[in-house]
């Protein structure tokens, strides 16, 4: 679980850095709330996937060969959560699609960087 915490930490750090950069450079054109919300989608999806991955590892260590089922469930949940939160951001919060996608991409880049930095 330590590795997942480090990855989420990289995601949050990169999202905050990009939100600050957008606030400084494009303060009039782009809304920072959308970037933060898009990043939140990425972080929540990563936390859900980390939980399912831990469940799969525990099942495999106990000798159950159905551990991969939990990975598939995590992927489905991650997709459902992303779609639901994007829809809420568009419809109810009236956030810009561009800023939300910028935040999501930034979070995913943080996920990749964090994943490469882990030596486990």
Contact 80, 44 (CB under 8 A): no
Query: Using N-to-C axis directions, what is the helix angle for 32-61 and 67-91, rounded to 10°?
Result: 170
pTM greater than the 0.75 cutoff: yes
- Is residue 120's pLDDT more than 60? no
Q: How far apart are CA 32 and CA 30, in angstroms?
A: 6
Q: How far apart are CA 67 and CA 9, in angstroms?
A: 26
Q: Is the dihedral of CA 119, 2, 10, 38 positive or negative?
A: positive
- Residue pLDDT, tens place only, 31-74: 889 999 999 999 999 888 888 888 888 888 887 777 778 788 88
């Amino acid at each position: 679980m330590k590795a997942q915490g480090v990855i989420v930490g990289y995601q949050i750090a990169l999202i905050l850095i990009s939100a600050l950069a957008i606030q400084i450079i494009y303060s009039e054109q782009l809304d920072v709330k959308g970037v933060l919300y898009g990043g939140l989608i990425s972080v929540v999806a990563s936390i859900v996937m980390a939980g399912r991955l831990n469940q799969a590892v525990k099942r495999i260590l106990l000798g159950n060969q159905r551990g991969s089922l939990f990975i598939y469930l995590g992927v489905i949940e991650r997709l459902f959560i992303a779609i639901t939160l994007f829809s809420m951001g568009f419809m109810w919060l009236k956030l810009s699609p561009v800023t939300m996608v910028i935040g999501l991409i930034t979070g995913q880049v943080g996920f990749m960087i964090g994943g490469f930095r882990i030596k486990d």
